Amino acid sequence: MPGREIRGAHPRRPLASRIVAPMAATRFTHLRLALAGVVVALASQPVSAQAPLRVLTVDTPAGATQVTSEAIKVKIYDDDANAVAVMHAYGYFAKGGEGRPLMFLWNGGPGASCALLHSGFAAPQVADLAGGTGMVDNPLTMIDRCDLIYVDPVGTGFSRSIGKGNDEDFWNVRADAQAAAQFVATVIGQRNWQQRAIYLCGESYGGIRVAAMLQPLRKLRVAVAGLLMISPALETRTLWSSDHEEQLLRRHVDNVPTLAAIAVADGERHVADLRADIDAVCKFAHGPLRKAVSNQEVDWEDDEQLLAKVQYLTAGGRSSRGLRRDRYDARMKSKPNYLCGVSNTILQQSVGTILKNAFGVPSIDDYEFMNRSVTRTWHSSKSVKNGYPWDVRATRMIAEACKGGRGPRLFVASGWYDTIVPFAIARRLQQDGAFGSCEVIVKDYPGGHALYVDADAHKAFVSDLRSWLGCESV
């Protein structure tokens, strides 16, 4: 594509270079697939005793439900049967629900603990930050439909290497997925839950994590019924700027619907039905615009019409000027130590309250919310040899797992105002058939990267998720 010119009266810059210009404010030369911003000192040693079981009675959409909360520790072993790590997790189990689905949940990063998901999504109770240090029932909990286990990867939360193990050994795509798969298989095996429907939930980088787990789980004879991906990294080649202009352009084609939604939110453009408008913008971006920025030539008239439409839809980039935005929710201004409008201090207080009240964890001083060392190491040359970060495709892993009609169902949920992982990527990949024969549902909502932070997006998302799970409440 370099050097291509648009046919016309005189030589022109390639169409792609002119389309990228109004989007410069959302162009990231170095994307961390992370829920970044939470900075806590790295603890050298894990300190977390196994907490006793606790029984909660919570109000759920199915009525009063008795829930047991349990702090879980699982040793991870290498090929020589040496214990090399201990992974910590936090489970909620509804009374009478032993035959129901079981969902394991991971955040992204890849150096993020499960803290944000645990604080805001699916759990039966959340911290009552307005009222002090207590807990309040979560009206959008999923505990009446499925049991929940929130997992901290090695190097996050209280999860650490032990013995001859080294934290850094787990900080690449393959080793991380194998450890996570071993954790799941161990929990299922120890509790004789082989007959339960197993679901894996991954947010952001967690989307790659749960897809990469499918092969090792199959080797461990664990069948996965479904994957839930929240704002997932599906193909890193479309998220990272690289030397391949085609990938960079595709990134910006996928970005147009996000910028169009931001322009409406900012009042720069007015529409009667935002969802219908977003559907139309996606059709344009993944149709004529995508064709134009590919290696095919377009004539002068089409070139000018396309550029004019991009300028109109995105308000000429005016929404991005003079305002440093929260990349996780572009409706908000960026603030130091905030994520999607949530203070990191509040997030830490929330997690501390949950772990103390629901799991008996006395202190979170050693709890690693976001381990920057994980992300930095993941980006090293060692990790690139494992296929990260330049070309990891969760789509390919899912398609492979679903060959022959087998494999999990898939639910992908994204936010319109997320500039870290534009929601239109999932739509395009579904349009291209990238998920193979997998039964896939792609949904997007009026929220940011962490969908559950926005009340309207959260409510709509949970409603669709309940329908997708399809099981009865306890």
CA 265/CA 417 separation, integer angstroms: 9
| CA–centroid distance for 35 within its chain | 9
* Two structure tokens written together for 152: 């901290």
One-letter amino acid at 406 equals R
Across-strand partners of 83?
Answer: 77
Are 329 and 453 contacting, i.e. CB atoms less than 8 angstroms apart? Answer: yes
**Which of 59-68, 260-269, 459-468 comes out lowest in average pLDDT?**
59-68
Q: Decide if pLDDT at 132 tops 50.
A: yes
pLDDT on residue 7:
30
Question: What would the pLDDT profile of 329-375 be if each residue is shown by its tens digit?
Answer: 999 888 888 777 777 888 888 888 899 888 999 888 999 998 988 88
pLDDT on residue 32:
26
Q: Decide if pLDDT at 107 tops 80.
A: yes
Q: How would residue 296 be classed by pLDDT, with cut points 50, 70 and 90?
A: low
Q: Decide if pLDDT at 4 tops 80.
A: no
CA 407/CA 316 separation, integer angstroms: 44
pLDDT on residue 236:
81
Question: What would the pLDDT profile of 222-256 be if each residue is shown by its tens digit?
Answer: 999 999 999 999 988 777 655 556 666 677 789 99
Instruction: Report DSSP state, residue 7.
Output: B
**Which of 52-61, 205-214, 411-420, 436-445 comes out lowest in average pLDDT?**
52-61
Are 68 and 92 contacting, i.e. CB atoms less than 8 angstroms apart? Answer: yes
Name the one residue in this structure whose structure tokens are 């679903």. 402
Are 231 and 415 contacting, i.e. CB atoms less than 8 angstroms apart? Answer: yes
Determine what percent of the chain is predicted with pLDDT higher than 70.
Answer: 78
Look at strands 102-106 and 226-230 and give their pairing.
unpaired
This prediction's pTM: 0.86
94 vs 59, 60, 65, 456, CA distance in Å?
12, 11, 7, 26
Q: Decide if pLDDT at 51 tops 60.
A: no
Mean pLDDT value of segment 403-432: 93
**Cα torsion angle, 259, 260, 262, 267, sign:** positive
CA 220/CA 182 separation, integer angstroms: 8
CA 354/CA 115 separation, integer angstroms: 10
Long-range CB contacts (< 8 A, 24+ apart) of 124-129? 124/56, 124/58, 124/60, 124/65, 124/67, 124/92, 125/56, 125/58, 125/354, 125/357, 125/358, 126/350, 126/354, 127/349, 127/350, 127/351, 127/353, 127/354, 128/353, 129/346, 129/349, 129/350, 129/353
CA 297/CA 292 separation, integer angstroms: 7
Query: What integer best gives the mean pLDDT of the chain?
Result: 81
CA 148/CA 353 separation, integer angstroms: 18
pLDDT on residue 40:
24
CA 472/CA 474 separation, integer angstroms: 7
One-letter amino acid at 38 equals V
| C-alpha R_g of the chain | 22
Q: Decide if pLDDT at 34 tops 90.
A: no
**Which of 31-45, 152-166, 198-212, 218-232 comes out lowest in average pLDDT?**
31-45
**Which of 196-210, 317-331, 363-377, 398-412 comes out lowest in average pLDDT?**
317-331
pLDDT on residue 27:
30
CA 412/CA 230 separation, integer angstroms: 6
| CA–centroid distance for 207 within its chain | 6
pLDDT on residue 1:
33
C-beta neighbour count of 267 within 10 angstroms: 9
CA 393/CA 388 separation, integer angstroms: 10
Q: Decide if pLDDT at 386 tops 70.
A: no
